[in-house]
């Protein structure tokens, strides 16, 4: 794989995680599938009061460039991902969380899936065979039921529609309406994958194990997010978006 790779990391109060995360991502980029592929890490920070941006600016790595974008007049995960994609240069864009809930070992596996030219997007999946979600069994069950509801409503083959750990070809993103897709919190991922499904994208789900965040606190509650995600899926289905 010789295409440039862009890794987008939306952040808010993740200063404790970023040094180790960026180092591990950079190390993973030395795997066989990634060797020879120039890579950039794009941190999109919503002006974190814990100094996340300053921590990231201080990081220097020989394997990947680190570009830090600080937003002072906009908030939200969906719009942060949009900004990162728009600022990126790679032919392949990988989006992941910055709290270690998304295993860095998955990075080369997702990129390897795109070594198949017929695949448009690779999805790290908790719910395909071999995947799982550790931590609270209640949250795991709730997330599984939510994803089943959403994929039933939308008629999609993807089992993990809300995970937000994906690698996608830039060519596949051409022509999408970013302003309508990249809104809200993690529900942007539902809108993105559904629009891709409607456009005929070819998906590959790669099993992975989701772990609770390593440091810091979650930015939203499951119940609030679950209701928002379900409503968005219904709006997408009836054409209100």
CATH number, domain containing residue 185: 3.90.550.10
Above 90 in pLDDT, residue 30? no
Above 70 in pLDDT, residue 32? no
Give the model's confidence band at 1: pLDDT under 50 very low, under 70 low, under 90 confident, else very high.
Answer: low
Give the pairing type, strands 92-95 and 64-70: unpaired
* DSSP H helices in the chain: 18-28, 52-57, 77-87, 106-113, 137-154, 170-173, 178-181, 187-199, 222-238
Residue 15 tokens read as 């200063």
Distance CA 77, CA 59 (A): 23
Percent of the chain whose predicted confidence (pLDDT) is above 90:
77
Per-residue model confidence (pLDDT) at position 29:
83
Above 90 in pLDDT, residue 224? no
The helix (run of H) or strand (run of E) holding residue 166 is: strand 166-169
Above 60 in pLDDT, residue 113? yes
Per-residue model confidence (pLDDT) at position 35:
62
User: What average pLDDT does range 171-177 have in this prediction?
Assistant: 96
Q: Are 63 and 26 in contact (CB under 8 A)?
A: yes
Give the model's confidence band at 213: pLDDT under 50 very low, under 70 low, under 90 confident, else very high.
Answer: confident
Per-residue model confidence (pLDDT) at position 144:
94
Encode pLDDT of 178-202 as tens digits: 999 999 999 999 999 999 999 999 9
In eight-state DSSP terms, residue 70 is E
User: Which residues form the domain of 112?
Assistant: 5-238
User: What average pLDDT does range 74-81 have in this prediction?
Assistant: 95
Above 90 in pLDDT, residue 123? yes
Per-residue model confidence (pLDDT) at position 90:
93
Residues in the chain: 241
User: What average pLDDT does range 209-235 have in this prediction?
Assistant: 87
| Domains held by the chain: number | 1
Give the SS3 label for residue 13.
coil
For the sheet containing 64-70, what is the strand order? Answer: 64-70, 39-45, 5-11, 92-95, 166-169, 121-125, 203-207
Mean pLDDT, the chain, integer: 91
Q: What is the dihedral of CA 24, 220, 85, 65, to 10 degrees?
A: -30
Q: Which residues, at least 6 apart from 142, have a Cβ–Cβ distance to it below 8 Å?
A: 222, 226
Above 80 in pLDDT, residue 60? no
Q: Are 127 and 147 in contact (CB under 8 A)?
A: yes
Maximum alpha-carbon separation in the chain: 48
Comparing 70 with 59, the larger pLDDT belongs to 70
């Amino acid at each position: 794989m010789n295409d440039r790779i862009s890794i987008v990391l939306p952040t808010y109060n993740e200063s404790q995680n970023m040094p180790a995360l960026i180092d591990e991502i950079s190390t993973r980029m030395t795997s066989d599938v990634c060797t020879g592929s120039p890579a950039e890490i794009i941190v999109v920070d919503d002006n974190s009061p814990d100094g996340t941006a300053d921590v990231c600016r201080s990081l220097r790595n020989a394997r990947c460039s680190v570009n830090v974008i600080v937003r002072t007049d906009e908030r939200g995960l969906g719009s942060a991902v949009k900004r990162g994609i728009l600022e990126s240069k790679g032919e392949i864009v990988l989006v992941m969380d910055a709290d270690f809930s998304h295993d860095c070992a998955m990075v080369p596996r997702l990129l390897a899936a795109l070594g198949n030219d017929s695949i448009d997007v690779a999805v790290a999946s908790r719910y395909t065979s071999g995947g799982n979600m550790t931590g609270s069994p209640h949250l795991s069950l709730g997330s599984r039921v939510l994803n089943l509801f959403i994929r039933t409503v939308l008629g999609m083959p993807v089992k993990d529609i809300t995970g937000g750990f994906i690698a996608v070809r830039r060519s596949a993103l051409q022509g999408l309406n970013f302003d309508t897709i990249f809104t809200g919190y993690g529900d942007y991922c539902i809108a993105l994958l559904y629009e891709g499904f409607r456009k005929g994208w070819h998906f590959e789900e790669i099993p992975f194990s989701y772990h609770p965040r390593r440091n810091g606190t979650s930015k939203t509650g499951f119940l609030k997010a679950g209701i928002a995600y379900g409503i968005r899926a219904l709006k997408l289905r009836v054409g209100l978006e």
